[in-house]
Structure 1
Amino acid sequence: MHHDVPLIATVAMAFVLAFAFGFLANRLRLPPLVGYLVAGVMAGPFSPGFVADAALSAQLAEMGVILLMFGVGLHFSAGDLMAVRWVAIPGAVGQILVATLMGVGLAMAWGWSLGAGVVFGLSLSVASTVVLLRALEERNALATPNGRIAVGWLIVEDLAMVLTLVLLPAFAELLGGHADGHGTATGGGLLWSILLTLGKVAAFVALAVMLGPKLVPWLLRQVARTGSRELFTLSVLAVALGIAYGSATIFGVSFALGAFFAGVVLSESDFSHRAAADSLPLQDAFAILFFVSVGMLFDPFVLVEQPLKVLAVLLVITLGKSLAAFAIVQLLGYPVGTALTVSASLAQIGEFSFILAGLGLSMGLLPEEGQDLILAGALLSITLNSVCFMGADWLRERGRARFPAWFDEFGKDRQLGLQGQLDELRRKSQAREEARSLQITSLIERFPIFADLDQAGREDLLMLFRPRTAQPGERIIRVGDRPDAAYFITSGTVLVRVSGQDIRLGPGEFFGEMALLSGRRRTADVTALDYCQFQTLEQRDFRQFVSHHPELRQKLLELVRQRTEMNRQAAAAQAEPVPALPAQG
């Protein structure tokens, strides 16, 4: 057997090392992400022992980026972002500018080019959404106003970095790098390049916004109607990867932007929760491979060779960015507690920093030393982020005790206004969830035959049902018809004539399932006695649904047996001769 299998070896060792160091990081009360990065260092060329295939790791990392950005898009809430827009948008833009200027200043002090400084500063300016979400979840702060501001702030940062990824190649040659190796674009050439890039992005966004919300949910609905869980999961991945690849091939935009919009298209549909749940395991798996591949690029000797530079980078990330964010939040009139939460949230860098560093390196803008410093800053800042949150909590408690007016009164009106907006959004979201839950509850109360279905099965059933009505006197089913659907009565009464017997059925009862189960033609006439409303399961949907729920099929078969026996007995009773009356004397 041939044992030269670099892909299997790379993936296997990446998962094994990531598990080992991720578990160790967790035991040390550190984010598992730190363990994944260390696992990459151990599998990289700068450590002894196993060395993973760098080219394969880079492609696996790209897959991780696509799925990470798809997940960001799925959880993107325009409503939440609009609620915090007056602090998140100016705050994020201002903080990015300040942090970028700090990075440019360090780069110029070290003798790097302006282009290197821009890429370096941008890489230090953007925090990790993954790290933030996990930190807020651990503190049960995700749904609080401060948590929403921090998440909205990072969403704006992510959007800014997506735009940066699109525009950076257009400016690469002007900044001293190379975009495609065909010379330097100047004057009108640069302007044309920028306009062409923005035009392609605008065309892609317009196409995604106009067609995506109609086409993608329709496609997923058709797949969901098959009742196949694996096909639905496959369709979600096909949408994410297909849009990402197509956007890069046709429109020339990044995989990250395409994947983000694929998630955004799905985020407001009825399938968003299911798509997120089905894609989450693969998102986690490839995200781990992404962080491992990033760790492989890190040269740990930079900690020994350039300790002062590493310290300077760490201070910009944990102190410079945090102080800038604190000042901006306070200038915008929000409480000190909000400023401290946002400051702690931004005291780290993550996935977009790695993507920007890799792009800058590939275009000749960023020296390899810069990438090493960014990776070192990421490793150290993510490791210390929990300490930053504890420090923010300590400052909040001490400050409230010594300066209660500043901590409790300043910005209180803005905080209360934001709380009201978020509460209203939460009520609307809960109302939608409650309405769907009420639909399911009503379904079970009205049709007890579905009571044994699990939650996923009940939601699938709601999606498969098709409403139908009938006017008084309308013939719904005729004897000899080919079976087309099963009918579940929600209101009104129908008359079923079978074997010469008339049977009335009302709300909560159903008919038409016998022919679907047997595959034979209809054996009864069904007529609406008054205005009727039904939920119907078409033949294909009915058969596939009961095939995936054998317990329901057994119930239906038992009902068919009982009805058949009742019809037989009724027909036999009708066929018995009526005894003659005795003669009257």
Structure 2
Amino acid sequence: MILLASATEIPFLTEIMVILGLSILVIYIFQKLNMPAVLGFLATGVMFGPHALGFVQSGEEIEMLSEIGVILLLFIIGLEFSIKSLVSMKKVVLVGGSMQVGLTILLSGLIAYFLGFGMNEAVFLGFLISLSSTAIVLKVLQDKGLMRTPQGRIALGILIFQDVIVVPMMLLTPILAGLDSNVAMSLFILLIKVILVIGLVYVSARHLVPRLLHEIARTRSRELFLITIIVICFSVAYFTSIMGLSLALGAFMAGLSISESEYSHQATGLIIPFREIFTSFFFVSIGMLLDLDFVIHNLALVALFTFGVFIIKFGIIVLSTLALKYPLKTGIVAGFSLFQVGEFAFILSRSGLETGLLNDNTYQYFLSVSILTMGMTPFLIDYGDKLAANLLRTPFKKLAFMENAVGNVVETDTDDLDELQGHLIIIGYGTNGHNAARTARKAEIPYVILEMDADLVKKAKDKGEPILFGDAKNTHILDHVRIHRARVAVVAVSDHHDALVIVSQIRELSKTVHVVIRAKTIAQSEELLIGGASEAISEEFEASVEVFARMLNQFLVSNDEIDDYIETIRDETYSAIHSNYHVYKRNAVEIAKLKTANIHIDRHSLFSEKHLCETKIFDENKVRVVGILRNGKLKKNFTGDTILREDDEVIITGSELNINFFMNQWEELNAKKMPDLDEVSGI
């Protein structure tokens, strides 16, 4: 017998329902106003929390759900990085993080001291102000695809340092309050714990987790894979928690341990829906802390303190970024990302209240400034580049001398996938997928493969294939392989329902990619075409065509007649299910009639060292540049800004008539004496 608990037996069920219901309304309005969803959740907490309309009361249950949201957020961030990339960031973490935290504590502590706070209270306020919001910053950066940019890497590195340094700060809090004096031993024990956790994560990432996930993936059970990922996440987070470190840091470490395997992208795609729902509780719970009456009655001071915090943290982050040898603009954009006071400061502030380092009045000012700076963050990240460009036109640009003194560093530690453009995506690595990949490789077409068979992925990876373990029914996976920038997607999966879902997900992300898909029957082909496929090839029909072609061949029917029969049958069959079939056929006929030619760019050529967009002769003669042979390598990805170099071979295509007209004009132009550049620029 199943017993159903009533809402009264689950007290926080009502609050969950109210929070989510109100969030729908508020976020809908914010989306219509083109405002970030994060602000919608914060606004929900502010408006309907205990200090305003009172629809939702703050409770331990809501805080617990919000903590799960932060854990899942940091877990996904860890998944998207690797230990190798993190090691490459050690300078950002250690130098940038220590400089930002140290200078912020020093400067804000001095200001607080001159405002009348005691030395210990001033240092503690410096602790609070030095911490930024891991949850909000990383959420916004991730949503906008900025995690792998220089400013994204700086933000992550400094936030990691802050997440670690908050533990010593909590150990120092009772000492500042005069309640404990054995700080040296506490810090030594903390150091041992950190080394132990890092060692465990390293061993897990290199040896344990990849093997475990490979065995789990071989079962092809989505449920088992998901549960395993969640258990790994919460186990490591729990381990770091009992070691005296933060849950969020443990979740990040858990993500890192999986990031070294080929299953990280699939794991990310499965976890994202859970992250979204739980992080919403976190942002709502933060908004619920704000006392609107206090802000209204002390608006001038709250605004002044908020501006002061912004100036202090923004300036120090810019200086820290310049010290790391990044450009000034990167420092400005990073400053707009990390100026706020974060969630770990809330945890630390409670310790300050309990030990007497903060009084109620100071705590309310701290909360007001923190939440206001959090609310400003999505806007300043969104417009960071534009604001930085405007600042660089002002006297602020004089700081550029520091940039020149330390030199510039441009980090491009990104996956090869970031460079893909106009590529082929092969979904499924069975016979059809394997043949498609082999053909693409021979034709030098850039491609990437998605496959759900763990053994196939491992074997193909060992052979050097660009293959990922991932479910193409997940939009995160499709986005990761840059479906919106692909030219063609070949769907070579055997399950018809899966194929329909994949086509639907592809069309949700891209309306332009050409989707070629296989189907077993004509009826399935028609269904796939209606669902969004560009071309659907029926295995049953094509097999029947091959059968009767070989039959006719045995009856000594000529190959030309057989080709005519095949064309007639294909016309009748495919035109009945595909409204654009005749368009494809006409295009194929026209392509078959195209001719190609090569032109050599020598030192005296009119177009040597000129951009392609300046060479109007190609458009005027209706011929198209399809490739540039340079230094023995074929360059297929080019734009109007591509410069033609000496000894380039430009490959053009067009109708025979247009090619002939072009070649005649080309020879005439190059036979003439080299005119002035001004005369040539209009050619």
Same fold per TM (> 0.5)? Answer: yes
Partner of 1:245: 238
Distance 2:158 2:406 in 1: 26
Partner of 1:9: 14
Distance 1:401 1:246 in 2: 50
Residue number among 198, 202, 224 corresponding to 1:205 in the alignment: 198
Q: Check conservation: 2:214, 2:454, Cα contact below 8 A.
A: no
Indicate whether 1:284 and 2:285 are aligned. no
Q: Check conservation: 1:127, 1:347, Cα contact below 8 A.
A: yes
C-alpha displacement of 1:266: 1.3
Change beyond 3 A, Cα 1:138–1:401 = farther
C-alpha displacement of 1:291: 1.5
Distance 1:246 1:161 in 2: 19
Partner AA of 2:100 in structure 1: Q
Distance 1:59 1:549 in 2: 37
Partner of 1:160: 161
C-alpha displacement of 1:262: 0.8
Unaligned runs of 5+ in 1: 178-183, 449-454, 469-489, 491-544, 563-585
Tell me the secondary structure at the aligned position of residue 100 of structure 2.
helix
1:340-379, aligned counterparts within 5 Å? 340-361=332-353, 365-379=357-371
C-alpha displacement of 1:265: 0.8
* TM-score, length of structure 2 as denominator length: 0.57
Partner of 2:221: 228
Distance 1:26 1:354 in 2: 28
Q: What does the per-residue CA deviation read over 1:140-165, in whole Å, with 9 as the maximum and x for residues that have no partner?
A: 7655xxx41x2222223222222223
Partner of 2:185: 192
Distance 1:348 1:245 in 2: 28
Unaligned runs of 5+ in 2: 437-446, 464-493, 501-517, 522-538, 544-683
Aligned CA-pair RMSD: 4.5
C-alpha displacement of 1:174: 0.8
Partner AA of 1:444 in structure 2: N
Distance 1:135 1:105 in 2: 32
Q: What does the per-residue CA deviation read over 1:279-305, in whole Å, with 9 as the maximum and x for residues that have no partner?
A: 111112111111112222222222134
Q: Check conservation: 1:67, 1:283, Cα contact below 8 A.
A: yes
Q: Check conservation: 2:429, 2:456, Cα contact below 8 A.
A: no
Distance 1:221 1:548 in 2: 25
Q: Percent identity?
A: 25
Distance 1:17 1:109 in 2: 44
Partner AA of 2:302 in structure 1: V
Distance 1:331 1:136 in 2: 23
Residue number among 423, 426, 431 corresponding to 2:414 in the alignment: 426
Q: Check conservation: 1:115, 1:176, Cα contact below 8 A.
A: yes
Change beyond 3 A, Cα 1:97–1:190 = closer
Q: Check conservation: 1:314, 1:381, Cα contact below 8 A.
A: yes
Distance 1:438 1:458 in 2: 6
C-alpha displacement of 1:176: 0.9
C-alpha displacement of 1:275: 1.2
Partner AA of 2:305 in structure 1: V
Partner of 1:31: 36
* TM-score, length of structure 1 as denominator length: 0.66
Query: Number of paired residues?
Result: 462
C-alpha displacement of 1:31: 2.8
Partner of 2:69: 64
Q: Check conservation: 1:81, 1:152, Cα contact below 8 A.
A: no
C-alpha displacement of 1:12: 1.4
Change beyond 3 A, Cα 1:135–1:443 = same
C-alpha displacement of 1:132: 3.9
1:526-537, aligned counterparts within 5 Å? none
Q: Check conservation: 1:89, 1:153, Cα contact below 8 A.
A: no
Q: Check conservation: 2:69, 2:279, Cα contact below 8 A.
A: yes
**Higher deviation after alignment, 193-202 or 254-263:** 193-202
Partner of 2:266: 274
Residue number among 187, 210, 220 corresponding to 1:217 in the alignment: 210
Q: Check conservation: 1:95, 1:324, Cα contact below 8 A.
A: yes
Partner of 2:59: 54
Residue number among 376, 381, 389 corresponding to 1:384 in the alignment: 376
Partner of 1:497: none
1:332-481, aligned counterparts within 5 Å? 334-361=326-353, 365-385=357-377, 388=380, 390=383, 393-394=386-387, 396-397=389-390, 399-400=392-393, 411=404, 414-415=407-408, 418-419=409-410, 421-422=411-412, 425-426=413-414, 444-446=432-434, 459-463=451-455
Residue number among 320, 331, 342 corresponding to 2:312 in the alignment: 320
Greater length-normalized contact order (CA 8 Å, ≥ 6 residues apart): 1
